[in-house]
Amino acid sequence: EQKQRYYTIAFSQCVESDDWRKTMLQEMNRELAFHPNINFLYRQADGNSQKQVVQANELLKEDPDLFIISPNEGEPLTPVVKQAFLKGIPVIVVDRKVATPHYTAYIGSDNYEIGKTAGQYAVHLLKGKGKIIEITGLPKSSPAIERHNGFADAIKNYPSLQVIQQINGEWLPETAKIELSKIAARYPDVDLVFAQNDMMAQAAYEVFKNMVGIKPYIIGVDGLPSTGLKFVSDKTITATMLNPTGGEEIISTAVKILNKENFPRENLIQTTVIDSTNVRIMQLQVAKAASQQSQIERQENRLEEQKRIYNNQRTFVYILVSS
Ligand code: FRU
């Protein structure tokens, strides 16, 4: 019998309070369940870059065989990633990027493409003419920059389509709501809100819902069943750009790296528009996948149970024979 090697993977997550991060962790754990030889260390930093630097250093002191990080903001987390990489620890960067090429693999959405798709959808909704408010995530995190750039490029050939105001929602619905409330009354003629995630999109809906006569289209990003898909199907927001968390791919790439197999360095996950025309089918697909997953888990449990019974019987037979 081949001896199995044991590995330690350390994961530094920027924040875990929202459903998107929770989904990512669930998907990672699901994949980790197939690899009992992996010891998984996990810390999350409550959306605080300084705290994440401290935690990342603590994790690295444990001498992991591989380090995964989803940085809160690129700049502050760059030195620790570079150090780990130069020490020879493979590093997987997830979702938000760092400002150095010193990493082993990147896994995340094509955020420029997400912004561009959202922009094209805005052009289509407004027929190339109208006023837009953009609610960004943390301005120093790469998805905020890339989603903004993609959106701006998609609308740049339509001079009558303009972003009249940009606000920083920090990726958080609370912040988005506060910041938008401060300025909303100034823009009774706003036609569309592009919010860089669904939680902030829903916050925009909350702000405008009580303002008589203002009912802009609202576009979000993420498309989780519990947020984006629900908001689109409830018609509180108009559309969402799918942004899968990549949880499974993160672990399967980690395993390939540890096993010295080939793996792609840049792993860009593709997006698609979800609006009222296809939200139902998306929801059905998600439900189907969830029921298949619970089926798999039930069968795994049955298998475990069978193994336990078999082992008991073996012990029993052994006792009988040897007595
Ligand atoms: C979750 C989140 C997502 C967003 C991503 C950007 O923490 O804000 O909603 O798509 O992070 O990094």
Tokens 């740049």, located at residue: 156
Provide the token pair at 69.
Answer: 């990080």
Give the angle 143-146-149 at the CA atoms, nearest 5°.
145
Asked whether 18 lines ligand 1 (CB < 6 A), one says yes
Query: Whose C-alpha lies nearest to ligand 1, atom 4?
Result: 197
Asked whether 245 lines ligand 1 (CB < 6 A), one says no
**Rounded to the nearest whole angstrom, what is the distance from the C-alpha of residue 233 to the centroid of ligand 1?**
21
Asked whether 257 lines ligand 1 (CB < 6 A), one says no
Provide the token pair at 289.
Answer: 């996948």
Beta-carbon contacts of residue 163 (< 8 Å; ≥ 6 apart): 132, 133, 134, 152, 155, 194
Query: Whose C-alpha lies nearest to ligand 1, atom 6?
Result: 143
**SS3 at position 132:** strand
Distances (CA, A) of 118 to 22, 89, 97: 24, 37, 21
Query: Whose C-alpha lies nearest to ligand 1, atom 9?
Result: 197
The residue among 315 and 266 whose pLDDT is bigger is 266
Beta-carbon contacts of residue 271 (< 8 Å; ≥ 6 apart): 109, 110, 113, 114, 117, 241, 242, 243
DSSP line for 199-264: HHHHHHHHHHHTSTT---EEEEEE--IIIIIHHHHTTSSSEEEE----HHHHHHHHHHHHTT----
Q: Is the pLDDT of residue 208 over 80?
A: yes
Asked whether 97 lines ligand 1 (CB < 6 A), one says no
Asked whether 20 lines ligand 1 (CB < 6 A), one says yes
Q: How far, in Å, CA of 183 to CA of 179, rounded?
A: 7
Binned at pLDDT 50, 70 and 90, residue 282 comes out as very high
- State the complex-level ipTM: 0.97
Q: Specify the length of the chain in residues.
A: 323
Ligand 1 atom showing the smallest separation from residue 142 Cα: 12
Render pLDDT for 238-249 as a digit per residue (tens, 0 to 9): 999 999 999 999
Ligand 1 atom showing the smallest separation from residue 221 Cα: 10
Asked whether 227 lines ligand 1 (CB < 6 A), one says no
Ligand 1 atom showing the smallest separation from residue 109 Cα: 10
Residue type, 52: Q
Render pLDDT for 223-265 as a digit per residue (tens, 0 to 9): 999 999 999 999 999 999 999 999 999 999 999 999 999 999 9
Asked whether 221 lines ligand 1 (CB < 6 A), one says yes
- B/e letters for 153-164, b = 16+ CB within 10 Å, e = fewer, are ebbeebeebebe
* pLDDT given for residue 311 in this prediction: 87
Q: Is the pLDDT of residue 72 over 60?
A: yes
Q: Are 52 and 45 in contact, with CB atoms under 8 Å apart?
A: yes
Q: How far, in Å, CA of 43 to CA of 199, rounded?
A: 23
Asked whether 85 lines ligand 1 (CB < 6 A), one says no
